[in-house]
Amino acid sequence: CPAARPVQPAGGARATHLVHGGVAHTLEAEPLVIGSDPAAPRMLRLPAQLPGVSRRHCSVLLGAHGAIVRDHSRHGTFVNGQRVNGDAPLAAGDRLRVGSPGVVFELVAVN
């Protein structure tokens, strides 16, 4: 398992949506919680049998300086191939991965 290190955003515009399965989920101050059983007001439930996906894996939200991902898992959350340690910034064009081999989400900016 590679060592966790700070993640730098890809340098794109501010991300406004997380895309999964052809659906764009709006990013808000209230976290969008991703996992196999996230039990949250705003959640994105993944199939329980996916390897390396925790019940409450990570949260994506808008902070004071833009979108961030907050890792809650012991399995790891990855942005552009780098493991997240705590919180990491997100920008349009970034790729968020949970699980192994993983589910990949795209960050986009919608006007």
Instruction: Write out pLDDT tens, residues 37-85.
Output: 999 999 999 998 899 999 999 999 999 999 999 999 999 999 999 999 9
- Of 11, 64, 65, 69, the C-alpha closest to 35 is 69
- Of 6, 10, 4, the C-alpha closest to 76 is 4
Helix or strand holding residue 87 (H, E) = strand 87-89
| Residue that is written with structure tokens 């790729």 in the block | 95
Task: Tell me how far apart the alpha carbons of residues 18 and 62 are, in angstroms, rounded to a whole number.
Answer: 11
* pLDDT for 2 beyond 90: no
Which three-class secondary structure state does DSSP give residue 81?
coil
Specify the pTM. Answer: 0.86
- Residue 7: pLDDT band with limits 50, 70, 90: very low
